[in-house]
Structure 1
Amino acid sequence: MLLAKQQPPDAIPAGLAIGVVETQGAVGALEAAKQGLDAAGVDLSGFMGAGGGLMAACFQGSVSDVRAAVKAAETACRPITKVYGTTVIPAPNPGLHRSFSRNYRDGFDLTSRAVGVLETMGFVALLEATDAALDTADVAAGHWLAIGSGYNSISYSGDVAAVRAAMSAAEAVAKSRERFVDSIIIPAPHAATAAVCGAAQ
């Protein structure tokens, strides 16, 4: 669920970092946004609802400004709410923003490509995992789904070897954050699985 206006796909200019502070509840995310904006010259690109009461404030700007904003937001929020996760991605993969935009509807050709699905708890782990997957192999990422109770999923499509490599990288990131839930690779998926895999409707 997107609570603020999302930029269109590919809207993050080259050279800008992204940062996220994920908290329990909207109040914490609003406080994170205020503190981050006060601390550094960043833009607030939106709020992402990850389900289960989790809410993420998302920043973009120079690497140094984003780091300062995330640090200030986390420091301010810890006394008042649970900080579920933070991240700064200095050089996000160009495909990352498309997958997390509510307007992204490109979809997959599931009749000729393998698909892998990653499931995590919370938004931050999924964002980091997807950046790693896209950097690791020639795959396309499908649309992000927040499916309730904090569970988040995303799918990757490509040839079988590429999907396996992408999934391995994504799982490693999610497990390092102790937010990995489950994953599956389907070498030859049926087209009817598109909705479950998060492809375009």
Structure 2
Amino acid sequence: MRYYGEEALGLIETLGMVPAINGADRMLKAANVELIAYENIGSTLVAIMVKGDVAAVRASVDAGAAAAAEIGKLTASNVMPRPIRAVGDIVSVHDIDAGAGGEEEVPAPRHRALGLIETFGIVFVLEAADAMVKAADVELIGYENVASGYISVLVQGDVAACKSAVEAGVKAVADMGTQVYSSVVIPTPHPDLSKIISRYAIEKLLP
């Protein structure tokens, strides 16, 4: 949707995608805000933007920043109570609805848990993905190369299965002599996360 700066703007920015998604989920659940923009900026940075009244946006950003920092690196957060129209135009360049491709194409995680792992390098993330799907009844639904070597995989299933899958993926990477950058299980994803996740659906990425 087009954003005109008519409401307060809240932003968090993270190193990597997994902390950003965890932050977005918490932002949307913490207050009455609307997800308006998402962008993989490059050089591993990912941004989430929401709008709403000032108090709601402040609560949302506080919650999202804390959630992102719990599992990765938060690089920036901000609340802009009255952004100018031109700032709204820049935000609209990254309109989440324009990039989502329509809800009919979304893998529908709203009633299923999500498990996510992010590593530095494709060798490790492929090992993690293999271990995740072999360890539990989960479906590999997404993949993203954030840039500069940070790569993520996403699975969905019931909560217990996603927990087992993520544990197995983390262990598989540890057995290779390194650590995952970030991992998380989101038991009940906010429905609007589907707008982000749909961008990374494997079916859409295949040639």
TM bracket (short chain)? 0.3 to 0.5
TM-score normalised over the length of structure 2: 0.43
TM-score normalised over the length of structure 1: 0.45
| Structure number having the greater helix percentage | 2
